Structure 1
Amino acid sequence: MNRAITPGVAPQQSPTPTSEFSMQFTSTPRGARLARRLVSHRLHEWGYPYDSAPNETLTLIAAELTANAVRHGHVPGRDFHLRLTATATALRIEVADTRTERCPTPGELTAPPIDSESGRGLYLVSQLAHRWGVAPRADAPGKHVWAELRLPPIP
């Protein structure tokens, strides 16, 4: 499912969103949990029921990206930012943190060893999303990790 992109280069912006949700969260496990729940709730409000494949998949992606922002992107006193958009053809999530350290890009990511106790989050995202990537933040120090889920055409 994953489509390779040039590492470090942000993809073309999606078409103008038909729906958008954006919020800042505390960089804590509680903040990550709230972000995940709000993603699922927002998708449900936008017409993707809780038990639908798009809602379940994007909620799982949100859980991984927000957990990574808290665990690996945390800077004391700084929050993480989540942006969720929907267009007629795709759902997109972006999670921004203030850590400037690099994280693997799609071209660098490999499957974790089978006996590893961690390191599966981005790999899982890469298998669930149609496209994903990492880009520096334009408005502040740090990076944002994004993932897109294509939607089936509306008949």
Structure 2
Amino acid sequence: MRPDGRAVRSRVWRREFPGRASSVPAARAWARDLLAVRLAPGVLDDVLLLLSEVVTNAVTHSDSGHTAGGRVTVHLSHGSEGVHVEVTDDGSATSAPAVHVPRTDDDGGRGMWLVALLATTWGASGNDDEAGRSVWFEMLRDPSPGP
């Protein structure tokens, strides 16, 4: 609901991917096909970049990418305000999503830093040692500055 009491209409999609590196470009292509006509090109580029980073993290750092049959599920919702992306994985008893400020010579470790930098808002939820976890982010439809 909006502050004025009107309902916000949104489209919602869900797709499950194997916990493999090949799921990163597959998730990106799927999201691009759904959102290309709904988002401005710059916003779409940012959403796809962040989706790629979060799916990569799910495959690399959770049990989804380290156990047979591991899965990563992507939820997308698009409404008048923008887009909400949530990536659910099988969790991990040894790692949790965290923002690290990368050094210029680091080969990796920029995923959550980019999410924190570019997303309007983001968060993580779930019990990492039991039923999995979710990392989500939101992007406004039109990130143009105000007056």
TM-score between the two structures when normalised by the length of structure 1 = 0.76
* SS of match in other structure, 1:29: coil
Deviation string 1:56-106 (CA, Å, 9 cap, x unpaired) is 11011111011111111224121110000011112010001002344245x
Q: Does 1:118 align with 2:108?
A: yes
Aligned identity (percent) is 24
1:86 corresponding residue in structure 2: 78
Alpha-carbon distance change, 68 to 80 in structure 1, aligned in 2, over 3 angstroms: same
Q: Does 1:61 align with 2:54?
A: no
8 Å CA contact retained: 1:75, 1:98: no
Larger radius of gyration: 2
1:100 corresponding residue in structure 2: 92
Any stretches of 5+ residues in structure 2 without a counterpart? 1-6
1:37 to 24, 29, 38: 29
Structure with bigger RCO (C-alpha 8 Å, 6+ apart): 1
TM-score between the two structures when normalised by the length of structure 2 = 0.79
* SS of match in other structure, 1:39: helix
Which structure has greater strand proportion?
A: 2
Q: Shift of residue 17 of structure 1?
A: 5.2
Q: Does 1:151 align with 2:141?
A: yes
